[in-house]
A and B are shown apart, each in its own frame.
Chain A
């Protein structure tokens, strides 16, 4: 087999598989959506296979395999689809798609991606998004997954942390390609002054304790004792009652819960805050929100989780504090609110750091991998028939 020159002009027919419901909010779906749009903008053809609650709402390039069902998995509720009907649809999609390659997201959890990985043969890429320590229990099933996982020609981990999880639990290495952001959408646009000049931003599902909102609020109580003026802006879905009840009366007047916000509103908020704080306590494999905040020019303070340390370039593009140390966090916030020069410096450093997460860079790296594994011109096809035809032609062809 020879590959003389890797053809960078070739138009690829790409099949992507999403494990989670397409019309449900989630980082993985958002990532697949952006990647698919990028590939299509480069002239490639993309078809995404995903579970969906409402099939009518899907764009033409997304195919549904039916409604996702909620199953408890890894300490959370995963909304995925599998079973005989899904399996049949996966096989039909592979057969009719005539794909040059498949890109399976999160193929190590029981989901559509795993089904596709079992069924297909040929060039396949897998992206691993998760990297929670909780995953240990799940990766204990490694040996069962191995025959499927080893079919992947290339594995992508979204961060060094995700890669470590993979090497430790599935005994396999991966190329690190981060998640992408649309840099321009964050860096260019108007700001709002409705929360004053000293706004502290927080975005995410604040109800999950690992997102660390209670740590931020505790730090804010300390700031109040020092008579520092600020406002806290929290955006994200969830019920704030529990947090509001615990706050002092003074903090309550300075606390704004905006609920779920649109993308453009999120971008505007990030451009407006004086500092963005990510007080997460664990379970983060990447931290896309940090990249987004940096692109928007918000000075970032984040806990020193390995994934965050990477994104902030070991503290060069943002401020790090020891995770769960609220007084240290309070001190860092105070320092930044007092020092507008330092803020301007961080804002610039962050903006330039965030360039490496722009889709023009990230998408190209992914396409490079696509080109590598499709260089032989082999197509994706269903596995089982081939298996028997190969059996007849003799075991273990001589390479």
Chain B
């Protein structure tokens, strides 16, 4: 009888250990999402700032300047809801700007913009990976049943993350 009790106790301990192990994993994943989002956010802001700077310089034609200025401004002031669309539009605009062979200026700022774009690509890749992984873990029945994720919000993906930047 006592052997049975002992066995049960061990089982319980194992279950508790596994639950706490899983909760730690989730916590770590949420932490990763926070970090990667913070990075992505910073990379986006850097890009907007560069776009604004280009718009205010004489390096591109006035029409492009106006478009850039508007798009970058919208992206900067956008709330969480509109942010996705705004960043997406800015991406497309900058993409066409950088792709233009006729871009005569070899001003340092375009190189800066290019490296900002490269960093943004990496930041998006890292963030997406963290989000996908966290979502997958939170779908596990065990995690749902025991509410191991606590009150942490479920990370989401933004549409602009899928388009090429």
Contacts and interface: CB of A to CB of B under 8 A. Distances in A.
Interface string A372-384: 1101101000000
B34 to A, nearest CB: 5
A225 interface: no
B129 to A, nearest CB: 5
Interface string A272-315: 00000000000000000000000000000000000000000000
Q: Please classify the interface of chain A as helix (H, G, I), strand (E, B), loop, or mixed, using the class held by over half of its residues.
A: loop
A375 B23 contact: no
Contacts of B132: 173
A44 interface: no
A131 B88 CA distance: 34
Interface string B3-46: 00000000000000000110111111111111110110111011
B153 interface: yes
Contacts of A372: 39, 43, 119, 122-123, 126
Q: Which of A2, A6, A365 has the most C-beta atoms of chain B within 10 angstroms of its own C-beta?
A: A6
A391 B22 CA distance: 12
A184 B137 CA distance: 47
Contact of A5 (B30, B42, B133): B42
A155 B126 CA distance: 8
B118 interface: yes
A396 B151 CA distance: 7
Q: Which of B32, B126, B128, B133 has the most C-beta atoms of chain A within 10 angstroms of its own C-beta?
A: B126
Interface stretch (A145-153, A194-202, A341-349): A145-153
Contacts of B129: 155, 172-173
Given A154-B126, A368-B118, A6 B43 contact: yes
Given A6-B119, A398-B150, A153 B27 contact: no
A396 B23 contact: yes
B27 A376 contact: no
B150 A397 contact: yes
Interface residues of B, number: 41
Contact of A399 (B20, B118, B148, B152): B152
Nearest to B119: A368
A391 B149 CA distance: 13
Nearest to B37: A1
A226 interface: no
A5 B39 contact: no
Interface string B143-165: 00000111111000000000000
B34 A1 contact: yes
B54 interface: no
B35 A376 contact: yes
Given A173-B128, A372-B126, A387-B24, A399 B33 contact: yes
B125 interface: yes
Nearest to A390: B27
A395 interface: yes
Contacts of A6: 39, 42-43, 46, 119
B125 A173 contact: yes
Nearest to B151: A398
Contacts of A373: 35, 39, 126
B38 A3 contact: yes
A6 B151 CA distance: 30
A375 B39 contact: yes
B28 A121 contact: yes
Given A173-B125, A173-B128, A372-B126, A396 B26 contact: yes
Interface of B: 20-21, 23-36, 38-39, 41-43, 45-46, 115, 118-119, 122-123, 125-126, 128-130, 132-133, 148-153
8 contacts: A3-B41, A3-B42, A4-B45, A172-B133, A372-B122, A373-B35, A375-B38, A399-B152
Pairs A-B, 6 closest by C-beta atoms? A396-B150, A3-B42, A3-B38, A1-B38, A395-B23, A398-B151
Given A153-B36, A399-B31, 5 more contacts: A3-B42, A6-B39, A175-B125, A391-B23, A397-B31
Interface of A: 1-6, 121, 147, 150-151, 153-155, 172-173, 175, 365, 368-369, 372-373, 375-376, 378, 387, 390-391, 394-399
